[in-house]
Amino acid sequence: MLDRAVVDALFPSDLPEPSFWEEQYPPRALGGDAKVTRLGPSPTGFLHIGGLYVGMIDRALASHSGGAYIVRVEDTDQAREVPGAVEQFNRAFAYFGIEPDEADAVGAYGPYHQSQRERIYLTYVRELLRQDKAYLCFATKEELADITARQQATKLPTGYYGRWAIWRDKTAEDVQAALDEGRPYVVRFRSPGKAGERTKFTDAIRGELEHEANRNDVVILKASDQSPRLPTYHFAHAVDDHLMRVNLVVRGEEWISSVPTHLQLFDALGFERVEYAHIAPLMKQQGGSRRKLSKRKDPEASVEFFIEAGFPAEAVQYYLRGLVNARLAELPLAEALQAPISLAECGVAGPLVDLVKLEDIAADYVATLSGPEIVERITAWAATHDPELVTVLESSRAEALAALQVERGPEVANPRKDLRKWSDFRQAYGFFFPALFELVSDRADERLGGLPPELIAAFATDFADGYTDLEDGQEWFGQIRELAAKHGFAPNPKELKKNPDAYPGSIREAAQLIRVALTGSTKSPDLHAVARTLGTDEVLRRVRALAG
């Protein structure tokens, strides 16, 4: 055991005692059932959809119990930090309306970036060293690699334990000698775990669990020749969740195997244990099997994918909530978004993320919005993701509203469901705006169905020459019908089928020429409504482009 003076000399002389931090971060004055939750994203990459999923659960559990939800940036691995990651986290939380009560500069239990909590961690590392519950380890990289290699060769569990823990029982003299030589060291936890021991604990989702006890003398403070001197994840978890007075740790199931280590750390530090809830990972169906969503393989694994495409936040939240608690998928959206989340109802098998299902939910949701609401939402999204569209929407607001009124609104029985995400707007409605529309003038264009170019030109010329903007749909369509007959098209598809060589196509192919000229697409909302919304001048400009 090292002398207290030796231990203390390793730390700044003005480092506070634990009691200082305990007073600085007192227990919260909250109701008995209040849940204090936190998300601990590491800025080593952009937020994973699984992070948003857990954050949403944290947010709901805290809100419904009158507790608090914290976002703590776990940036202890500074070498792997990705620039802009923290900004992306904040953008994602804002976009999806899953904002914390405490984060960054807001909250009395900060700082909320681990890299700014060095002194707090050092206090507790010193405390464990003083009590001989931790020790200095000067093992070199080569020695550690050699230990691992020898363990693997004899099929032993790898790790720093038992006779492999070469610095665990060194004498104070040996330690002092290494210090005098100025050798860098890490601080390791002196694990109380014994071979063959088991640890039992309760998980709020999975119930009673039993695992092999931890025997590993895990590193708690990283190398002494680095600045700032930061702890490892395990140690920071114990110190931060204690001092931030978190009482419910919701995190991915990959951490279950670390619980025995974490419980030892809480106990050694004299902290009250926290409750754990380990969430099953989001899965993807691939062929006949399921696998975890992968950041490398699946674009939808990144939250940015949903933001860039402009999925409405409400629809994504609704969908994710349905994955957390299947019962919530049965409720209408507005109700489901307000309903509490129950950990007891969480599954232990990872739910499948089905983008098609999500898109359907999103289309249903957008169909409930009014034209002005949609324009507002698209404008807000496009400000970052499609600036040209903002300019067009601002200069042609009336046209945008008119376009969105086509087959939409409370009086329409089956409103159009052609917008699943804001980026669909260009594709579905861009043709309404002259600035976004590219005239169709190439008569060999495949959208025109391969009709003879001279026929297309003659048909379009006649249509433009005789065009009248009529209010009645049937009458308006009569113009196409008449011209179709004049140019030898069959009156209906049935007639064409009976005698395919007698006609260039049917009335359907003829109407399609006008559809493609007006919308650039072979599928569109009702053609008469489109023509009326565009106005005669624009109709003529587009059809004449096709006429040549």
Binding site for ligand GLU (CB under 6 A): 40-42, 74, 237, 251, 255
Least Å distance between CB 216 and ligand GLU?
A: 18
Least Å distance between CB 40 and ligand GLU?
A: 4
* Gap between the Cα atoms of 182 and 59, Å rounded: 47
What long-range pairs does 232-237 form, CB within 8 A, spacing at least 24? 232/76, 233/74, 233/76, 234/189, 234/258, 234/261, 234/262, 234/265, 235/121, 235/124, 235/125, 235/189, 235/265, 236/74, 236/76, 236/114, 236/117, 236/121, 237/40, 237/262, 237/265
Radius of gyration from C-alpha coordinates of the chain = 33
CA distances to 4, 77, 88, 396, 477 from 320, in Å: 52, 30, 20, 35, 45
Tally the residues of the chain.
548
Q: Which is nearer to ligand GLU, 251 or 544 (CB)?
A: 251
Q: Which is nearer to ligand GLU, 11 or 255 (CB)?
A: 255
Helix, strand counts (H, E) of the chain: 24, 11
Least Å distance between CB 262 and ligand GLU?
A: 9
Least Å distance between CB 96 and ligand GLU?
A: 18
Q: Which is nearer to ligand GLU, 266 or 503 (CB)?
A: 266
Q: Which is nearer to ligand GLU, 85 or 339 (CB)?
A: 85
Pairing of strands 68-71, 36-39: parallel
Contact (Cβ atoms closer than 8 angstroms) between residue 3 and residue 130: no
Q: Which is nearer to ligand GLU, 21 or 255 (CB)?
A: 255
Give 289-353 as a 3 state SS string. Answer: EEEECCCCCCHHHEHHHHHHHCCCHHHHHHHHHHHHCHHHHCCCHHHHHHCCCCHHHCCCCCCEC
CA distances to 139, 174, 230, 231, 331 from 136, in Å: 9, 11, 15, 14, 56
End-to-end CA distance of the chain: 94
Least Å distance between CB 203 and ligand GLU?
A: 14
Q: Which is nearer to ligand GLU, 40 or 67 (CB)?
A: 40
Least Å distance between CB 116 and ligand GLU?
A: 15
Least Å distance between CB 256 and ligand GLU?
A: 11
CA distances to 430, 475, 483 from 493, in Å: 30, 20, 16
Least Å distance between CB 214 and ligand GLU?
A: 16
* Gap between the Cα atoms of 194 and 22, Å rounded: 31
Least Å distance between CB 255 and ligand GLU?
A: 6
Least Å distance between CB 72 and ligand GLU?
A: 8
Residue with tokens 């204090």: 36
Contact (Cβ atoms closer than 8 angstroms) between residue 122 and residue 229: yes
* Gap between the Cα atoms of 191 and 261, Å rounded: 8
Q: Which is nearer to ligand GLU, 221 or 309 (CB)?
A: 221
Q: Which is nearer to ligand GLU, 282 or 374 (CB)?
A: 282
Tokens of 542: 């587009």
Q: Which is nearer to ligand GLU, 74 or 314 (CB)?
A: 74
Q: Which is nearer to ligand GLU, 255 or 305 (CB)?
A: 255
* Gap between the Cα atoms of 260 and 172, Å rounded: 29
Least Å distance between CB 247 and ligand GLU?
A: 14
* Gap between the Cα atoms of 199 and 103, Å rounded: 33
Q: Which is nearer to ligand GLU, 126 or 234 (CB)?
A: 234
* Gap between the Cα atoms of 192 and 4, Å rounded: 21
Least Å distance between CB 126 and ligand GLU?
A: 24
Q: Which is nearer to ligand GLU, 133 or 262 (CB)?
A: 262
